[in-house]
Structure 1
Amino acid sequence: MKTKFKTLLIPLLLGAYACVGDADVQEKPNIVVIYADDLGYGDVGAYGAHELETPNIDGLASGGVKFTNGYASSATCTPSRFALLTGEYPWRNEDANILPGTAPLLIDTAQITLPEMLKAEGYQTAVVGKWHLGLGSGNVDWNSKIAPGPNEVGFDYSYIMAATQDRVPTVYIENGNVVRLNEDDPIQVNYQKNFEGEPTGKDNPELLKMKWHHGHNSSIVNGIPRIGYMKGGESAKWVDENMADTFLVRAQQYVKKYKDEPFFLYYAMQQPHVPRTPHPRFVGKSGLGPRGDVIVEADWCIGQFIRTLEEEELLENTLIIFSSDNGPVLNDGYYDNAVEKLGDHKPWGPLRGGKYSLFEAGTRVPFITYWKGTIKPTVSNALVSQIDILSSLSELVGSDLKGPDSKNLLDVFLGKSDKGRDQVILEATSRTAIRKGGWIMIPPYEGPAVNELVNIELGNSDEYQLYNLKEDVGQRTNLAKEKPEKLKEMIETFKSIRGDAYGKVKQLELH
C-alpha cells in the first residue's frame, strides 16, 4: 500500500483562528462528525422520506447546508470509514474491504488521519461507536490491552465496538481494554471454527429471538446469531437493545468533560445496520418494523446529543457534520420485516441500487453541515465527498496536514461556495466508477447484475454504462453508445486517476 506520512513541520495555533465568515477572531470551533450506518438517501425527511419522521436530522438540514450530491467514498462500511479518517481513496489500499472482527488495524499508524491532524492543533479527540477498521497487528488477545487501535491513530479517547453489531466479539472496548471483562472468563474468538460445545444459530434455532436469513448463523449472543465464533466474556457482552443509549451517554459525557477546550468527536452510530435492535422505547414507533424503529431511535439520539450541546452552551461554537457510510439495504442477513413492512417508504429515494452497488444509491447519501450562527441555511448541489472532510477541516484550523486524495472544500462545507469537486471516484466491493460533473461512468464488470441475497442491483454489466444524472438521476437510460465522445472523456479521466490500478482489472481495458 502506498502510505502518506505525517509531515514533521506542524504549525502551532495560538488558540485562535480567523473566522472564515467575518473578520472577527474567535475560539477554535469544536467539531463533531455524526456517522450513521447503512442510512439511505431516502431515509431522512429532509431528503424526501414521508413514511419516516426524522425531525432532529431534518433540523440540521434546515439550519445548515443540505448537500444533494454528497458521497461516501464506498458502498460498504470499512472502506468509507477508512476514507473519512485518512482522506485517501480506499481502493489505494488493497486491504480496505469489509473486515472480520479479528482483522488487524487497517490504518498505518504513521499515516495522516483526521484526529491526528486535529490533535496536533490542540484538540481533544474521541471516537464513540462503531470502529470496524481493525485492531491490533494480528492474533489479538482480547484479554489484555489491545493495540494498535484508535488511540494509536490520533484518538485520545475511544469507546467502540470492534467491528459491527452482527460480528463477534460482542463487547465494548474502551481505550484498548474490553469493558467489564472478568479475568476468570477469558474471551476467545475464531472466524473459521466453533468452540466445542458452543451453540450456534445454525444448529440451535430454538435459542434464537431473531432468525437469520443468510450468513449470520454462528455464535449466539442475547438470542441473536452472529458472524464468527466467540466463547467466554459473559460479563463483558453488550445488550443490543441498550447500545444506542450506551454510545449516546458516552458521547454526552465526553463533550461535558472537554467543554472548556476544543474537541473533536467522531460519533459513529450503529443504526440502521443489522441486527436492528431498538430499545423497547422505540419498538413499533415507525410502523416500518425494526429498521424504521432504529432510524427513529437514531434521530432521537441525535436530538439528545444536540440538546446537550445547547445546555453546555457549545452549539454556536460547534461544527456538526452528519452523513452515512453507505447506502441502504433491507434484508442484510436477518428476518426482521424490513421488506414486508416497507410500505411506500423508499430508503434509496429517487436513486438506483443500494449498499454494495456502483449505482448512485450505493454511495450518494445524506450529507449535512451545521454550525449555528455561522452557516446560513442552504441547499447545495455541489459535488462533495467524505474524503474531503480532512483537508477542509485542516484549512479551518490552520493545519498544513492534508489527505492525499482530499480536497479543500471548506467554503463549500460552510455554504459560502457552490463549487465542489470536478470529479470523484466511487467504489463498491473493489469495483470503481467515476462521477464527473453531472455524468457517471461505470466500466464493464463481470459478476451478477443483482445480489439475490439482498435484492440489490450491483451495477455489473458487460458493457460500459454512462448516465446523465441531471436528467436521469434514476440511471434508467444508458447513453454510452449515444455519447461516444463523452464516454471517451470519462474513461480517460477515470484512467488518469486510477493510474496503475486501472490496468490491474481486465474488465477495464479500453475497447
Structure 2
Amino acid sequence: MNHIKCLSIFRNSGITLGYLFLILALNGCANRTSNKKVKPNIVIIYADDLGYGDVSCYGATELQTPNIDKLADEGIRFTQGYSTSATCTPSRYGMLTGQYPWKNTRAQVLPGDAPLLIEPGSVTLPSMLKEAGYTTGIVGKWHLGLGKGNVNWNEEVKPGPREVGFDYDFIMAATNDRVPTVFLESGHVVGLDKTDPIEVSYRKNFEGQPTVDENPELLRMKSSQGHNNSIVNGIGRIGFMKGGESAKWIDENMADTFLVRAQKFVELNNDKPFFLYYALNQPHVPRVPHPRFAGKSGLGPRGDVILEADWCIGEFMKTLEKNGLAENTIVIFSSDNGPVGDDGYYDDAEVLMGDHKPAGPLRSGKYSLYDGGTRVPFILRWKGRVKPGVSDAMVCQMDFLASFASLLGIQTKTNDSENILPALLGESKMGRDDLVVQGMKATAYRNGDWSLILPHNGPKMVPWGVKNETGFTADVQLYNLASDLGQKVNVAEQEPELVEQLSNKYNAITQNLEVKPVQSLKDF
C-alpha cells in the first residue's frame, strides 16, 4: 500500500494527521524493539567418558546415535574439540572456571566427601552469565566437591553450585561409583528421612554395614578393581556409607531423573535467558541402563547406556522445540574425557565391544596423554544463526567463558580461557593456536598439527588394570597429527629443532611445571 493511499484512508476514518504520525512513530519503536538482539539461551550437554568414536556422526558404525547426529547435521561438528583433561573432575573444573586445572593441585579426581574445589565468589561461566541476566542451572553430575569438609549430609550442604554461580542445582553428590549415592537439590539431600541420617567415610566402614569383600552374595555386578566398599543397589562403590536408605538412588532411573529435571528447568525459564549445564551420567561406570535400553545395542551395558544418553538428548531437544526455543538456544554437546572399557566393574564392556572403537582413529582414551584422552565429540548448534558444517579449528571447553563473554559484550579477565567465538560460530577456520592437556597429572602440548609429549616417569599402562596407555615414556614423543592421527610414528629424533621450539613454548605456558605422574589409583 503506498503512502498517499494510506493517508487517504486515515483521513476518511476521522483520524488526524498528528495522531497518524504518533501511530507511525510508535510502530517504528515497536519494530526496533522486536529487532533488538536477544540474548541466546545456552545449554551445555556433557557426557561422561564418551569417546571420539562412540557416536555415529564421528564414524561409529557398530552404534547409531541419531539424536546426536541430528545436532551435528544442524550445527558444527568439530574434529579438534578438546576437554582440558583426560579425567572428569579436572575437565569440569576447566570448563566452568576457564582455567587450566593443572594450575590447581587439588583439581584431581575427587572422593565423594571432598570440599568444594572452586573458590566461592570466583569468576566462573555460570557466575558470568548470571551477572549478564541469565538464570543458571545445573542438572546431573557435579564431582567438584561440596561443603568445607566433614559434610553433614543431613542438613543444608554448602558451599556448592549456588556459591559459584548457579541459581538452581539438582546433582548427584559426587559421581556414580562413589558414596554418598544420593541426589541433592538446592543443597538438600532429596528424599532423606532424618530419622535415618547419612554417615559417610572414605577411611573405614561402619559397624554392621555390608561390603563387597565380606558380602559378595549381595552383588549383581562384580567389581574388577577399586569398587569394593559399600554395596548400594547391588553394586559395590568407592567409600563407605550408612543410613539414608530412602534417599539412595536407583541406578536404572538416574537418566530419566536428570532428564525430567532438565526439561522442567527449561519450561520454568522459557521466557527469559537461561544457561543450563546438563551433565549426563553415561557412559560412566557402573553402567546400568533402564530396562528400555538393556540389551538394545548389542555391545553390552556400555553400548546400551550410550543409546540411553542419545535418547535423553532427543527428548531434551523436543522440549526446546515445544517451548519455541529452538532458534534462540545455543546447544553444545561434548564429553569430559575419552573412553574407557573396564573401569572398575566386570560388565563385559571389553568383550562385547566387538569391532566398535570407542576412541575411533585416536590413540588410547581416558587417563591418557595421547589424543584419545582429551579429543572428544564437540558439537555446537545454534539453529538459524550458525551454518551447519564441519570445522577443523582447534577448540577447547575451557574457552566457553571468554567466548560467551565476548558474545554478550562482557568484559572479563581470564588467564587461560581464550575468545574463540568466531571459530565456535563457524565464522573462522582458526581456533586455538596451542593447548596444554592433562592426563594423570602429567601434561602434553598441542600446537598446530603437532603433539608433543615430554618424558615422564611412570607406567606405560594405567596401573590399576584399565587397558589404556598413559603416554608415559622415558623418551620425547612428537607426532604430526595431520598425517598421523593415531600417533603411531614418533618423529622426535627427525625433528630436533621443532622439539626444542615446541618445548620452549610449552615451558613458557607451564613455567616448567613439575608434577609427579600418577602411579596408582590412590595417587589421585
Alignment of 1:429-448 (within 5 A): 429-448=440-459
- Higher-Rg structure is 2
Corresponding residue to 2:509 among 487, 492, 497:
497
Corresponding residue to 2:489 among 477, 488, 491:
477
* Equivalent residue number for residue 184 of structure 2: 173
* Equivalent residue number for residue 82 of structure 1: 93
1:236 deviation in Å?
0.4
- Asked if structure 2 preserves the Cα contact closer than 8 Å seen for 1:87 and 1:402, the reply is no
* Equivalent residue number for residue 284 of structure 2: 273
Q: What whole-Å deviation, never above 9, does each CA across 1:95-125 have from its counterpart, x for those lacking one?
A: 0000000000000113210000000010000
User: In 1, Cα distance between the equivalents of 2:514 and 2:398?
Assistant: 24
User: In 2, Cα distance between the equivalents of 1:390 and 1:457?
Assistant: 31
- Check if 1:355 corresponds to 2:369: no
Displaced runs of 4 or more, over 6 A: none
* Equivalent residue number for residue 323 of structure 1: 334
- Check if 1:128 corresponds to 2:139: yes
- Asked if structure 2 preserves the Cα contact closer than 8 Å seen for 1:86 and 1:403, the reply is no
User: In 2, Cα distance between the equivalents of 1:314 and 1:204?
Assistant: 50
Corresponding residue to 2:270 among 242, 259, 267:
259
1:25 deviation in Å?
3.1
User: In 2, Cα distance between the equivalents of 1:311 and 1:402?
Assistant: 37
1:259 deviation in Å?
0.2
1:249 deviation in Å?
0.1
What amino acid sits opposite 1:86 in the alignment?
Answer: T
Q: Indicate the larger mover: 294-303 or 394-403.
A: 394-403
Question: What is the SS of the residue equivalent to 2:292?
Answer: helix
Q: What whole-Å deviation, never above 9, does each CA across 1:232-288 have from its counterpart, x for those lacking one?
A: 000000010000000000000000000000000000001000000100000011000
Q: What whole-Å deviation, never above 9, does each CA across 1:283-327 have from its counterpart, x for those lacking one?
A: 011000000000000000000000000011001100001100000
Residues 1:57 and 1:312: Cα distance change in structure 2 (over 3 Å): same
Alignment of 1:94-493 (within 5 A): 94-451=105-462, 453-493=465-505
Q: What whole-Å deviation, never above 9, does each CA across 1:34-76 have from its counterpart, x for those lacking one?
A: 0000000000101000011100001111111100000000000
1:505 deviation in Å?
6.4
- Asked if structure 1 preserves the Cα contact closer than 8 Å seen for 2:479 and 2:489, the reply is yes
* Equivalent residue number for residue 5 of structure 1: none
* Equivalent residue number for residue 12 of structure 1: none
* Equivalent residue number for residue 29 of structure 1: 40
Question: What is the SS of the residue equivalent to 1:450?
Answer: coil
Alignment of 1:34-49 (within 5 A): 34-49=45-60
- Asked if structure 1 preserves the Cα contact closer than 8 Å seen for 2:442 and 2:516, the reply is no
User: In 1, Cα distance between the equivalents of 2:497 and 2:398?
Assistant: 29
- Asked if structure 1 preserves the Cα contact closer than 8 Å seen for 2:129 and 2:136, the reply is yes
1:174 deviation in Å?
0.4
User: In 2, Cα distance between the equivalents of 1:384 and 1:268?
Assistant: 20
1:24 deviation in Å?
5.5
Question: What is the SS of the residue equivalent to 1:67?
Answer: strand
Question: What is the SS of the residue equivalent to 1:282?
Answer: coil
User: In 1, Cα distance between the equivalents of 2:514 and 2:188?
Assistant: 43
- Asked if structure 1 preserves the Cα contact closer than 8 Å seen for 2:441 and 2:515, the reply is no
Residues 1:74 and 1:504: Cα distance change in structure 2 (over 3 Å): closer
What amino acid sits opposite 1:64 in the alignment?
Answer: G
Question: What is the SS of the residue equivalent to 1:281?
Answer: coil
User: In 2, Cα distance between the equivalents of 1:505 and 1:427?
Assistant: 12
Question: What is the SS of the residue equivalent to 1:302?
Answer: helix
Percent identity of equivalent pairs: 60
* Equivalent residue number for residue 18 of structure 1: none
User: In 1, Cα distance between the equivalents of 2:100 and 2:110?
Assistant: 17
User: In 1, Cα distance between the equivalents of 2:502 and 2:66?
Assistant: 39
Residues 1:373 and 1:345: Cα distance change in structure 2 (over 3 Å): same
What amino acid sits opposite 2:179 in the alignment?
Answer: V
User: In 1, Cα distance between the equivalents of 2:36 and 2:501?
Assistant: 45
User: In 1, Cα distance between the equivalents of 2:189 and 2:412?
Assistant: 32
Unaligned 5+ residue runs, structure 2?
Answer: 1-33, 518-524
User: In 2, Cα distance between the equivalents of 1:369 and 1:318?
Assistant: 10
User: In 2, Cα distance between the equivalents of 1:205 and 1:504?
Assistant: 38
TM (normalized to structure 1)? Answer: 0.93
Q: What whole-Å deviation, never above 9, does each CA across 1:183-217 have from its counterpart, x for those lacking one?
A: 10000000010000100011111000111100001
User: In 2, Cα distance between the equivalents of 1:396 and 1:464?
Assistant: 40
User: In 1, Cα distance between the equivalents of 2:87 and 2:200?
Assistant: 24
- Asked if structure 1 preserves the Cα contact closer than 8 Å seen for 2:212 and 2:219, the reply is yes
What amino acid sits opposite 1:473 in the alignment?
Answer: L
Question: What is the SS of the residue equivalent to 2:361?
Answer: coil
Residues 1:440 and 1:170: Cα distance change in structure 2 (over 3 Å): same
Q: Indicate the larger mover: 448-457 or 177-186.
A: 448-457
- Asked if structure 2 preserves the Cα contact closer than 8 Å seen for 1:394 and 1:402, the reply is no
1:26 deviation in Å?
2.5
1:450 deviation in Å?
1.1
* Equivalent residue number for residue 104 of structure 2: 93
1:496 deviation in Å?
0.3
User: In 2, Cα distance between the equivalents of 1:455 and 1:505?
Assistant: 21
TM (normalized to structure 2)? Answer: 0.91
User: In 2, Cα distance between the equivalents of 1:88 and 1:404?
Assistant: 7
Question: What is the SS of the residue equivalent to 2:422?
Answer: helix
Question: What is the SS of the residue equivalent to 1:489?
Answer: helix
1:488 deviation in Å?
0.6
User: In 2, Cα distance between the equivalents of 1:52 and 1:58?
Assistant: 12
